[in-house]
C-alpha cells in the first residue's frame, strides 16, 4: 500500500468527520448582528466589519459554553492582559499559558456575565470594543482586504471591594533607572516612594523614602495607566506608568520618572 494512498485515505476520513463534529456543538440563540453599534466601521477602526464582530461574539459564547479551548485560542490577542480590581496586572503570554490557567482567567462568575450580555451592551469606542462596563476589551484589526477581525486583548476583573484587605501593602511599581532602584507601594491606600542608590542592596534602608504621596490615573479602559506624585521639601517626583496602548509599551520600559525642583522640571529618567 503506497504512502500517497494512505495520506489520501486519512484526508478523506478527516473530511468525513467534520460534519459530525460540528453537529455536537450546541446552538446559542443571540440577537441579530444589526444590534451592534454601527460605529464599528471603517471610519472608526480602518476596516469594514461585514459581520466580524457578530461572528466573534458567537464564537466566544460558544467556546465559553462548551469549554472548548481550541475554539477560544484564535480569539485571543496574546499577551492577554488581566487587570484585577486592586490594580494588579498579569499577562498571559501564549496559548499554553491560557489553557493552564483557564479557570483563573475565566471564572464562573465572569463567564456568566459574558453569556448574559445582550449585543446592545457591547459598545464600540476608539480604544476598542467593550463588553458591558468593561469586563472585556477587544482589539479591532484591519486585514489586508480592509475587512475587520477582532481579538480579546484585556480582561478587567470586577471584585467586591469590600472583600479586599485595605490594610495590606500593595506593590504598585518596581523599576530601576541608571542610578536608582525604585519601589512604589501603598500602605492603607496611601502611596509610598522608596529609592536605593545603586549598587546598595534593597535589604538596607532606602536612600530616599517619601511615605505619603498621591495617585491618579490617565487614559480609559484597557489604556488606563497610573501616575504617582511625591513631594520632599522643594523636590517633587512624578512617576508615570507606561500606558499599555503606548508605542513605548513594546519596549521594556515600565515608567517615566520626572524630577521637579522648586516646581520646575529638572530631569526625566526612564525606569525599566
Of 109, 136, 161, the domain-final residue: 161
Question: Do 189 and 86 share a structural domain?
Answer: no
Neighbours of 44 (CB within 10 A): 17
Question: Do 237 and 147 share a structural domain?
Answer: no
The pTM of this model reads: 0.58
Residue 263 located in a structural domain: yes
Residue 204 located in a structural domain: yes
Question: Do 208 and 179 share a structural domain?
Answer: yes
Question: Do 189 and 137 share a structural domain?
Answer: no
What pLDDT score does 42 carry? 55
Question: Do 260 and 245 share a structural domain?
Answer: yes
Question: Do 127 and 192 share a structural domain?
Answer: no
Q: What is the CATH number of the domain that holds 124?
A: 3.10.450
Burial, 125: exposed, middle or buried (Cβ in 10 Å; 0-12, 13-18, 19+)? middle
Residue 221 located in a structural domain: yes
The torsion defined by the Cα of 68, 69, 75 and 80, in degrees rounded to 10, comes to: 140
Task: State the Cα angle at 153 between 239 and 76, rounded to 5°.
Answer: 145
Of 96, 127, 161, the domain-final residue: 161
Q: Which residue has the higher pLDDT, 176 or 9?
A: 176
Question: Do 209 and 264 share a structural domain?
Answer: yes
Residue 14: is its pLDDT beyond 60? no
What is the number of structural domains in the chain? 2
Each residue's pLDDT tens digit, 114-123:
999 988 888 8
Structural domain including 99 reads 26-161
| Least confident among 43-52, 74-83, 204-213 | 43-52
What pLDDT score does 136 carry? 94
CB-based contact 238:258 (threshold 8 Å): yes
Question: Do 147 and 231 share a structural domain?
Answer: no
Of 132, 161, 190, the domain-final residue: 161
Question: Do 169 and 157 share a structural domain?
Answer: no
249 falls in which pLDDT band (50, 70, 90)? low
Distance CA 79, CA 90 (A): 9
Which helix H or strand E contains 190, and what residues bound it? Answer: strand 190-197
Residue 224 located in a structural domain: yes
- DSSP 8-state code for residue 38: T
Residue 89 located in a structural domain: yes
Neighbours of 58 (CB within 10 A): 15
For 218-240, what is the mean pLDDT? 91
Question: Do 223 and 175 share a structural domain?
Answer: yes
Question: Do 172 and 243 share a structural domain?
Answer: yes
Question: Do 127 and 177 share a structural domain?
Answer: no
> Residues 6 or more apart from 205 whose CB is under 8 A from it?
none
Each residue's pLDDT tens digit, 98-133:
888 898 899 899 999 999 998 888 888 888 899 988
Amino acid at each position: 500500500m503506497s504512502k500517497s494512498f494512505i495520506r489520501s485515505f486519512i484526508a478523506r476520513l478527516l473530511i468525513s468527520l467534520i460534519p459530525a463534529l460540528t453537529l455536537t456543538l450546541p446552538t446559542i440563540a443571540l440577537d441579530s448582528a444589526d444590534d451592534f453599534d454601527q460605529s464599528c466601521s471603517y471610519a472608526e477602526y480602518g476596516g469594514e466589519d461585514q459581520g466580524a464582530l457578530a461572528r466573534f461574539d458567537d464564537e466566544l459564547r460558544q467556546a465559553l459554553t462548551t469549554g472548548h479551548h481550541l475554539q477560544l485560542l484564535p480569539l485571543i490577542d496574546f499577551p492577554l492582559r488581566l487587570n484585577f480590581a486592586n490594580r494588579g496586572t498579569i499577562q498571559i503570554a501564549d496559548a499554553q499559558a491560557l489553557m493552564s490557567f483557564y479557570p483563573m482567567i475565566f471564572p464562573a462568575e465572569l463567564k456568566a456575565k459574558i453569556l448574559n450580555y445582550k449585543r446592545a451592551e457591547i459598545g464600540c469606542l476608539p480604544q476598542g470594543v467593550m463588553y458591558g462596563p468593561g469586563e472585556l476589551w477587544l482589539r479591532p484589526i484591519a486585514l489586508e482586504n480592509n475587512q475587520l477581525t477582532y481579538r480579546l486583548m484585556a480582561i478587567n476583573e470586577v471584585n467586591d471591594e469590600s472583600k479586599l484587605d485595605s490594610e495590606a501593602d500593595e506593590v504598585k511599581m518596581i523599576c530601576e533607572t541608571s542610578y536608582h532602584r525604585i519601589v512604589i507601594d501603598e500602605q492603607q491606600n496611601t502611596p509610598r516612594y522608596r529609592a536605593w542608590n545603586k549598587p546598595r542592596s534593597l535589604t538596607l534602608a532606602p536612600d530616599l523614602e517619601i511615605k505619603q504621596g498621591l495617585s491618579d490615573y490617565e487614559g480609559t479602559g484597557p489604556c488606563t495607566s497610573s501616575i504617582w506624585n511625591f513631594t520632599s521639601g522643594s523636590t517633587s517626583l512624578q512617576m508615570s506608568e507606561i500606558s499599555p496602548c503606548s508605542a513605548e509599551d513594546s519596549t521594556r520600559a515600565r515608567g517615566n520618572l520626572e524630577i521637579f525642583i522648586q516646581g520646575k522640571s529638572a530631569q526625566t529618567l526612564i525606569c525599566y
